[in-house]
């Protein structure tokens, strides 16, 4: 089994991703670290605790950063994920508490020492916690097996600005640090996540076949579905579960290898830029950046089928 830490701004599609990862036989969840974005850090952590409790999972939840490294914080994207980050479904009193002694960054470092070269980080929110962990322990990268991110937009427009995707523009400095570190990164950007779409009929089906988890999914995704309807779409995109689909069945994706960096200021802030040979070797700002990977195509039907099977 692949040992993973999920780092999430626990909103609606993050919750779907956590459900997917816990249902799949190929993952061992080592921990869930939280960040801000879809919800405030407090709501994100509370949602994480609630999901773990509801699923009866025994994995630690560790609270992380509440603001980006350098840019000014933005309010949570409650118009996509609801005021509570979970589509405004009623979250009952949660008994599970986050670990209190470590920060998310410290937890990631600690676990990398317990499981050297075995741990995969799967950040599905802003990359703040991961950048903080690298800053706290520059040797971290050498102990991590790989990093599989949901984020970026390469050959398609962004979803926040014409060039920027939410997880990257939410903390562009953090993302630029993560892409420049000496570890293997695969990013699953909007290029593929917007090609996998779930419609109302699919949700009704999972609710019938699995009333417990499927019914819950149908309930908390209603707000997300309505947001997508307002955008003129007839279903919602599968952003955060996609890195897990990739980890489980990489053959469903086509990828490109490139050095990747992030624009940290100006009109194109948050843009993910891919540099290929020979420019990569020729330009000084790229020479030190290792080659990573982004996904650019997906077999949408098969990816969706796998997702719905897990649900």
Spatial CB neighbours of 128, under 8 Å, sequence gap ≥ 6: 35, 36, 64, 65, 67, 68, 69, 171, 174
For the chain, the maximum distance between any two Cα atoms, rounded to a whole number of angstroms, is 57
Looking at beta carbons only, is 47 or 112 nearer to Ca ion? 47
Q: Which stretch binds ligand BDR (CB under 6 A): 11-19, 43-51, 112-120, 298-306?
A: 11-19
The whole-angstrom separation of Cα 298 and Cα 195 is 7
Query: Binding mask 213-252 vs ligand BDR (x if CB under 6 A, - otherwise)?
Result: --------------------------xx------------
Q: Which stretch binds Ca ion (CB under 5 A): 6-14, 22-30, 111-119, 262-270?
A: 6-14
Q: Which stretch binds Ca ion (CB under 5 A): 2-10, 39-47, 105-113, 203-211?
A: 2-10
Q: Is residue 38 close enough to count as binding ligand BDR by CB under 6 A?
A: yes
Q: Which stretch binds Ca ion (CB under 5 A): 4-12, 97-105, 172-180, 193-201?
A: 4-12
Query: Binding mask 107-126 vs Ca ion (x if CB under 5 A, - otherwise)?
Result: -----------------xx-
Is 9 one of the catalytic residues?
A: yes
Q: Is residue 176 close enough to count as binding ligand BDR by CB under 6 A?
A: no
Binding partner at 129 among ligand BDR, Ca ion, none, C-beta below 5 to 8 Å by kind: none
Which of 50, 135, 144, 62 minimizes the C-alpha distance to 103? 62
Looking at beta carbons only, is 120 or 289 nearer to Ca ion? 120
Query: Binding mask 263-302 vs ligand BDR (x if CB under 6 A, - otherwise)?
Result: ----------------------------------------
Least Cβ distance, residue 307 to Ca ion (angstroms): 16
The whole-angstrom separation of Cα 214 and Cα 308 is 9
3-state secondary structure of 206: helix
**Residue 59, class by beta-carbon neighbours within 10 Å (0-12 exposed, 13-18 middle, 19+ buried)?**
middle
Which of 247, 32, 7 minimizes the C-alpha distance to 130? 7
Is 173 one of the catalytic residues?
A: no
The whole-angstrom separation of Cα 241 and Cα 122 is 10
Return the number of other C-beta atoms located less than 10 Å from residue 305's C-beta: 12
3-state secondary structure of 120: strand
Beta-ladder partners of 123:
7
The residues that touch Ca ion, with contacts defined as CB under 5 A, are 9, 14, 124-125, 240
The residues that touch ligand BDR, with contacts defined as CB under 6 A, are 11, 13-14, 38, 77, 80, 124-125, 150, 159, 165-167, 239-240
Residues designated catalytic: 9, 239
């Amino acid at each position: 089994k692949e040992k993973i830490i999920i780092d999430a701004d626990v909103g609606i599609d993050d919750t779907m991703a956590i459900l997917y990862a816990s249902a799949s036989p190929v993952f061992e969840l080592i921990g869930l670290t939280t960040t801000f974005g879809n919800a405030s850090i407090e709501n994100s952590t509370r949602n994480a605790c609630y999901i773990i409790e509801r699923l009866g999972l025994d994995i630690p939840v560790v609270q992380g950063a509440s603001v980006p490294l350098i840019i000014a914080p933005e309010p949570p994207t409650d118009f996509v994920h609801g005021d509570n980050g979970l589509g405004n479904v009623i979250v009952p009193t949660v008994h599970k508490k986050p670990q209190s002694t470590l920060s998310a960054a410290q937890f990631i470092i600690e676990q990398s020492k317990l499981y050297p070269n075995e741990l995969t980080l799967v950040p599905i929110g802003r990359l703040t916690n991961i950048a903080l962990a690298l800053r706290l322990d520059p040797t971290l990268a050498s102990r991590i097996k790989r990093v599989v991110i949901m984020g970026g937009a390469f050959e398609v427009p962004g979803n926040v600005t014409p060039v920027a995707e939410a997880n990257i523009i939410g903390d562009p400095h953090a993302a630029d640090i993560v892409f420049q570190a000496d570890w293997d990164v695969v990013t699953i950007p909007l290029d593929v996540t917007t090609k996998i779409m779930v419609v109302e009929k699919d949700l009704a089906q999972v609710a019938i076949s699995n009333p417990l988890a499927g019914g819950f999914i149908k309930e908390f995704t209603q707000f997300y579905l309505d947001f997508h309807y307002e955008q003129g779409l007839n279903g919602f995109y599968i952003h955060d579960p996609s890195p897990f689909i990739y980890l489980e069945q990489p053959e469903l994706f086509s990828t490109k290898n490139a050095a990747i960096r992030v624009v940290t200021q100006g009109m194109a802030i948050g843009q993910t830029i891919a540099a290929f040979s020979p420019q990569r070797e020729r330009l000084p700002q790229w020479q030190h950046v290792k080659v990573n990977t982004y996904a650019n195509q997906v077999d949408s039907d098969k990816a969706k089928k796998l997702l719905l099977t897990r649900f």
